[in-house]
Amino acid sequence: MPHQLPEGQEPLLSVSGLTKLFGSFKACDGIDLSIGHGEIHALLGENGAGKSTLVKMLFGILAPSAGAIAWEGRATEIPSPAVARRLGIGMVFQHFSLFEALTVAENIALSLDENISIADLSKKAAELSVAYGLPLDPDAHVADLSVGERQRIEIVRALLQNPKLIILDEPTSVLTPQEADKLFETLFKLKAEGRSVLYISHRLEEVQRICDRATVLRHGRVTGACDPRQETPASLARMMVGAEVAGVEKAEPSANGDIQLQVTELSVSPRTPFAMPLRNISVTVRAGEVLAIAGVAGNGQSELFDALSGEYPVREPEAIRLRGKPVGRLGINERRLLGAGFVPEERHGHAAVPAMSLSENLFLSRNASDRSAYLSGGTLGLIRHGVVQQAARRISEMMDVRKSGDDPAAGSLSGGNLQKFIVGRELDRQPSVLVVNQPTWGVDAGAASRIRQALVDLAKSGSAVIVISQDLDEIFEVATSIAAISEGRLSDAYPAATMTRERIGILMGGVHGAQTVPAGGVESAHAH
């Protein structure tokens, strides 16, 4: 079988019957897994499948409730990350843990279990970064580095521990295609040295390209294993979800719709020392259009969302126009009253209050006009809880939100299910303009497909949709036009049909010259 180690080969790491209980809930249920020497092994599964819980047990962050772990053929316990590192296990988390005010070397020093001078550490890190094709300046401050460079810090500090196994969690989610290719070269070099990689990703094309074997989790159990090179993205998704994942039926490009959102020479100064200023951004989005804005994290996406949503109004009223009305100085509720909807990147605490129920979160998100339907006396009066709960149920059914009770707390839902509810909550208002930041961040294939189709369907109904995303697969699935943001500047927007991953990667890297313009010309107003 392709998922078995070659005959006679001893695994580097193996687990048998590994189980983790949280109360009566089994996050991992009797997992069996083996990783060979010198292999890149994919760990696949939906949100909530148990992937994070499993790797946290392997890295000593969580203690198993039952089962056994063997390292190089010997039974072992891993009570802490320090023990994991001493064994030879390194981990690079999806969300970086770096101090922006410190240098590269200082950040690496904080994570090491041994005492070493900053000068010696800088020399070692520089040598290692050159050897593995991960160029870094040890004296650079993290605040001045791109997200791709920050990821290199995490990988280099893992490599400084001389690991035999490196666990990578969604490592390319913040990289351009060119940076991802460089990362893959590093992984192949590690493999050639006999080191192993446990690779977690929702990007199934990458899994096909670089992984030797794959183990699939569903509902905390191993449900399949395969040689991903013999599979397709669709078949891998089917193994993860347990059913066929529907493709997205894309909207047809339309140049004749009314202008719904117009941004003209928008510039915003940074609000904090580490924020990205926005520089002379201009773009036009029409009814029926899905404009996707690509970019590596930290290049002004959050600042642009804040400006478009009114969370931080801008100085010039005319810099942003919604349906012909200048709204630069207006706040979120006033922009909602004009027919706009917004989905921020951060689900917990920004898009939803985790401790409050879904219906309460729904009510909070409505402006004064919307709320009148939920109050006993029009715009004033008591909340009609039954009506609000009925609306929350309707949204949950529309978006296939899977939840533990009729009206549970938002924080009790998995990330993907909460995201479906938040997107559905905005779609329920049928906004004329919808701005979404990272709509399927950390969301599994089935939930991502449903969210993307909902955004496309909204555009088909005559709304303008702006999708800010780091996921190029997502961008090609939904977009009628594509632009890229880099260092707070927005490129021209081009018809999606004329774009390639390479061209988008160049734009994401900040090159906006004529050499990048594809056949078909410019679709929206010039930014530079």
DSSP string, 442-454: T--HHHHHHHHHH
Residues 6 or more apart in contact with residue 153 via CB below 8 angstroms: 96, 98, 104, 107, 108, 136, 142, 145
Nearest one of 193, 224, 225 to 211, comparing CA atoms: 225
How far is the CA of 503 from the CAs of 178, 209, 344, in angstroms?
A: 11, 21, 27
Per residue in 155-194, pLDDT tens?
888 888 889 999 998 888 767 777 788 889 999 999 999 9
Distance CA 425, CA 190 (A): 45
Per residue in 340-355, pLDDT tens?
999 998 888 889 999 9
Vertex 200, ends 396 and 85: CA angle to 5°? 130
Question: What would the mean pLDDT of 298-302 be, rounded to a whole number?
Answer: 87
Which sequence spans correspond to the domains of the chain?
A: 11-241, 248-339+431-528
Q: With respect to CATH, is domain 11-241 assigned 3.40.50.300? A: yes
- Point out the least confidently predicted range of 16-20, 115-119, 282-286: 115-119
Residue 218 has pLDDT above 50, yes or no: yes
Query: What does the pLDDT read at residue 100?
Result: 85
Query: What does the pLDDT read at residue 400?
Result: 84
- Point out the least confidently predicted range of 207-211, 284-288, 469-473: 469-473
Q: Which fold has domain 248-339+431-528?
A: Rossmann fold (3.40.50)
Q: Is 409 left (phi over 0), alpha (psi -120 to 50) or beta?
A: beta
Token couple for 146: 């791109």
443 versus 347: the higher-pLDDT residue is 347
Query: What does the pLDDT read at residue 514?
Result: 36
Distance CA 159, CA 162 (A): 5
Q: Do domains 11-241 and 248-339+431-528 have the same CATH topology?
A: yes
Backbone angles phi, psi at 299, to 5 degrees: -105, 15
Distance CA 163, CA 112 (A): 13
Q: How confident is the model at residue 442 (pLDDT cuts 50, 70, 90)?
A: low
Token couple for 482: 């594509």
Nearest one of 458, 355, 356, 471 to 398, comparing CA atoms: 458
Query: What does the pLDDT read at residue 171?
Result: 84
Token couple for 133: 């094709």
Q: How many CA atoms lie within 13 A of 215 on its CB side?
A: 25
Residues 6 or more apart in contact with residue 90 via CB below 8 angstroms: 158, 159, 161, 163, 165, 166, 167
Q: Is 323 left (phi over 0), alpha (psi -120 to 50) or beta?
A: left
Distance CA 134, CA 128 (A): 8
Helices (H), 318-414: 332-337, 358-364, 368-371, 385-399
Distance CA 237, CA 283 (A): 35
Query: What does the pLDDT read at residue 524?
Result: 35
Query: What does the pLDDT read at residue 365?
Result: 87
Nearest one of 31, 12, 35 to 21, comparing CA atoms: 31
Strand, coil or helix: what is 249?
Answer: coil
pTM of the full structure: 0.70
Vertex 502, ends 499 and 506: CA angle to 5°? 100
Q: How confident is the model at residue 134 (pLDDT cuts 50, 70, 90)?
A: confident
Q: How confident is the model at residue 332 (pLDDT cuts 50, 70, 90)?
A: very high
